[in-house]
Each structure stands twice: as structure tokens, then as C-alpha cells.
């Protein structure tokens, strides 16, 4: 037993050393973003030399302060945001180092999250990529106030995306992909979507996304998405699409699930015509649909009633700060007691 503990201790020491080295590598790419009053902090991730992205809802043109890992402050301002995800582009006066980017994602891939938690910058956690299809992916990681906008990196220090919010189930016990009661999942907005978003903001000062007006569900076997509801007066209703239709393609691109469908729709601009291919009572049909502009964020609860996307807003930061600290201290105390108990058991058994 003593040998096993020594081996485990050596292994954990090596892991700790590697994480600290990676933390030093990632730290120049992530900053703290402060509001003018200085009482609210969030995380921003460098995407270009003078561009930082975060997820918040600040007014366009609002002055902000950027703080690097050394505590140096510089001026910045909000340039615009994406109403679908809350991704906000911040223009900085300071020139920052840009991280290498990676659009390659795999199910189960290991990634590291680095950002601001309770006003302190550092490594937030480690997770494994789940559901990498679409504009975002999930990792199992409880979030704290200030985590929105935190950078998510692969083991080589390449930026994969930023934290966009947390995904929680309405019930406490469930089974999802064989995982029982996994707790909170973080929604990570992918690099490809971030680049598209900042390009639109720089070009138009805002982000415009296409809208169909459909509520859909994954079809069994990855065969597409099933229409569950249609918004009255929406482009989808006007085109002739009906409830229970099975959507299998958009503009000739096959659709396997909701995430892929969402990705294809959001990639189109308002006013553009798209071709939607469906199966209705064993008959293959195609409908031309002219998209309208999305006026507000995605109604996540309607798209997937079991899930809720919750943005960690500045108001939450203040409301949850003290309670989260208390919870964290309780967890540390429990862990300390368990370690002491384990030491006592080892001594008593004299392994």
C-alpha cells in the first residue's frame, strides 16, 4: 500500500508540474475584463492582437478596462455582440499576443479551461469534449461567476473556444450518454463561430443570423431532426413545412442532429434562400425558404426542454460570490478530513 501511495504521489506531482507549465503558456492569452465601476470582473480571451472576446451583455461602445496576468491595466471598449450567444467583441488599445487556433475537435478530447474565477486568474478546470457538432460543444465542468469568456485550450495550448455559459438539467438525477447525474456542463463556443462573429461585427457593427421559426428534436439513429412545432407566421410555416416532417438536409448538406442543423441555419444570413429537404410519409420533398433575421437569442428551453442555457451575468457574480466561497471552503474541509482519515487508517494497518 505504501508503494502504491508513493507511485500515486509521484504521478500526481508530474501531472501538477505539467499543468503549471501549461498554465504559464496560456496566461498571456487570457485577461480580466472590468466594467467602468471596477466592481465586476469577467474573463476575456485574446483572439487577435487588438481583439478580445468574452460573453456578456455590455452596451456597444462602453469603456472597459483590460487587466493582464501582471496586473497591468489598459483601456478598451465594447464594439458589438452576437444576440444569439452573447459573444462580445472588445477592442483593446494594448497589443496582445495571439494564441494558436484549432478547429479540430474530437469526442472525448482533453482540454483545459483558463480564466477569471471570483476575480482571480488561473486554471479553472480540466474536461473532456462532448457533442462537438455544431457551433458549440460541452465539457463536464461546474462554473463559477466570472468564468464566461474563459479560454478553452487543447493539450498543446491551442485555442478551441471560450466558455459561453453553463448547461444544466432541470432534474437532479438522469442518465445522459451513460453518465449518471454529471452535474453542470459548460457550453463552449467554438473558434470557427467566434471568427465568423468578429468578422461580422467588424464589417457591420453587429451580427445578423438567419431564422427559420422551427422547434425540432433529434430523430432516432442520427437520421436528421423532426419538426415538433412551427412558429406562426415564420418563414418555415410560409414555405409549407409541417409538424412531424423529418428534415434531412439543408442546401444539400446532410443533417445528423440538432447541433448540425443549428450550425447550418446560423451560418446563413437573413434574406437568403435555403433549400430544406424533408421526408414526409416516405416521400422526399424539397422546400425553398427565405430566412428572416433572428431578433433575439435562441430559445434553448424550447429547442431542448430538458436543458437550460444559463448565462453567468454580472448580477449573478455579486449574488453568488459569497455562497460559492462558502461551498468551496466546505468542499476543502471535507477533503481535508478524508485525507486525515486515510492517513490514520494507513498508520493503524501499518502497510
pLDDT > 80? residue 166: no
What is the pLDDT, as a whole number, of residue 351? 40
pLDDT > 70? residue 194: yes
What are the cell numbers at 124? Answer: 479553472
Phi, psi of 331 (to 5 degrees): -65, -40
Q: Cα 166 to chain center, whole Å?
A: 7
pLDDT > 90? residue 340: no
User: pLDDT for 132-146, tens place per residue?
Assistant: 777 888 888 777 777
Mean pLDDT of the chain: 78
pLDDT band at 176 (very low <50, low <70, confident <90, very high): very low
What is the pLDDT, as a whole number, of residue 16? 60
User: pLDDT for 231-240, tens place per residue?
Assistant: 989 999 999 9
Closest CA to 227 of 253, 252, 261, 260: 261
| Residue bearing the bigger pLDDT, 2 or 78 | 78
User: Do 351 and 2 touch, CB atoms closer than 8 A?
Assistant: yes
Who contacts 62 (Cβ-Cβ below 8 Å, separation ≥6)? 35, 36, 77, 78
What are the cell numbers at 264? Answer: 447550418
β-bridge partners, 115: 122
pLDDT band at 169 (very low <50, low <70, confident <90, very high): very low
Give CA–CA dist 12/333, Å, rounded: 21
Secondary structure, 3-state, the chain: CHHHHHHHHHHHHHHHHHHHHHHHHHHHHEEEEECCCCCCEEEEEEEECCEEEEECCCCCCCEEEEECCCCCEEEEEEEEECCCCCEEEEEECCCCCCCCECCCCCCCCEEEEEEEECCEEEEEEEEEEECCCCCEEEEECCCCCCCCCCEEECCCCCEEEEEEEEEEECCCCCEECCEECCCCEEEEEEHHHHHHHHHHHHHHCCCCCEECCEEEEECHHHCCEEEEEECCCCHHHHHCCCCCCEEEEECCEECCCHHHHHHHHHCCCCCCEEEEEEEECCEEEEEEEECEECCCCCCHHHHCCCEEEECCCHHHHHHHHHHHHHHHHHHHHHHHHHHHHHHHHHHHHCC
User: Do 186 and 139 touch, CB atoms closer than 8 A?
Assistant: yes
Domains and CATH numbers, the chain: 26-92 (2.40.10.10), 110-205+309-314 (2.40.10.10), 210-293 (2.30.42.10)
Among 120-129, 174-183, 198-207, 274-283, the range of highest mean pLDDT: 274-283
What is the pLDDT, as a whole number, of residue 350? 47
β-bridge partners, 226: 217, 246
| Residue bearing the bigger pLDDT, 117 or 286 | 286
Look up the pTM and report it: 0.68
Mean pLDDT (whole number) for 290-303: 60
Residue 279: burial class (beta carbons within 10 Å; 0-12, 13-18, 19+) = middle
| Residue bearing the bigger pLDDT, 329 or 317 | 329
pLDDT band at 309 (very low <50, low <70, confident <90, very high): very low
Ramachandran assignment for 289, one of left (phi > 0), alpha (psi -120 to 50 degrees), beta (any other): beta
Amino acid at each position: 500500500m505504501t508503494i502504491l501511495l508513493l507511485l500515486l504521489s509521484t504521478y500526481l506531482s508530474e501531472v501538477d508540474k505539467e499543468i503549471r507549465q501549461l498554465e504559464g503558456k496560456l496566461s498571456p492569452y487570457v485577461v480580466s475584463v472590468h466594467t467602468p465601476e471596477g466592481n465586476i470582473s469577467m474573463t476575456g480571451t485574446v483572439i487577435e492582437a487588438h481583439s478580445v472576446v468574452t460573453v456578456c451583455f455590455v452596451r456597444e461602445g462602453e469603456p472597459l478596462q483590460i487587466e493582464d496576468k501582471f496586473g497591468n491595466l489598459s483601456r478598451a471598449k465594447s464594439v458589438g455582440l452576437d444576440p444569439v450567444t452573447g459573444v462580445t467583441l472588445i477592442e483593446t488599445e494594448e497589443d496582445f499576443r495571439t494564441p494558436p487556433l484549432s478547429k479540430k475537435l474530437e469526442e472525448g478530447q482533453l482540454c483545459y479551461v483558463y480564466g477569471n474565477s471570483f476575480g482571480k486568474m488561473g486554471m479553472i478546470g480540466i474536461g473532456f469534449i462532448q457533442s462537438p457538432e455544431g457551433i458549440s460543444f460541452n465539457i463536464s465542468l461546474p462554473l463559477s461567476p466570472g468564468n464566461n469568456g474563459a479560454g478553452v485550450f487543447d493539450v498543446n495550448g491551442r485555442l478551441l473556444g471560450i466558455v459561453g455559459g453553463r448547461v444544466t438539467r432541470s432534474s437532479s438525477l438522469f442518465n445522459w450518454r451513460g453518465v449518471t447525474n454529471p452535474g453542470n456542463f459548460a457550453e463552449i463556443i467554438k473558434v470557427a463561430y467566434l471568427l465568423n462573429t468578429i468578422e461580422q461585427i467588424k464589417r457591420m457593427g453587429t451580427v445578423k443570423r438567419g431564422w427559420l421559426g422551427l422547434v425540432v428534436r433529434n430523430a432516432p439513429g442520427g437520421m436528421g431532426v423532426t419538426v415538433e412545432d412551427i412558429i406562426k407566421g415564420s418563414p418555415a410555416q410560409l414555405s409549407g413545412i409541417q409538424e412531424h416532417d423529418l428534415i434531412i438536409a439543408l442546401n444539400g448538406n446532410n443533417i445528423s442532429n440538432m447541433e448540425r442543423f443549428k450550425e447550418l441555419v446560423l451560418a446563413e444570413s437573413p434574406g437568403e434562400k435555403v433549400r430544406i429537404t424533408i421526408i414526409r410519409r416516405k416521400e422526399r420533398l424539397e422546400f425553398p425558404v427565405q430566412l428572416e433575421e433572428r431578433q433575439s437569442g435562441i430559445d434553448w428551453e424550447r429547442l431542448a426542454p430538458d436543458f437550460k442555457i444559463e448565462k453567468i451575468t454580472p448580477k449573478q457574480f455579486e449574488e453568488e460570490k459569497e455562497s460559492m466561497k462558502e461551498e468551496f471552503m466546505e468542499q476543502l474541509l471535507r477533503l481535508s478530513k478524508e485525507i486525515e482519515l486515510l492517513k490514520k487508517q494507513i498508520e493503524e494497518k501499518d502497510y
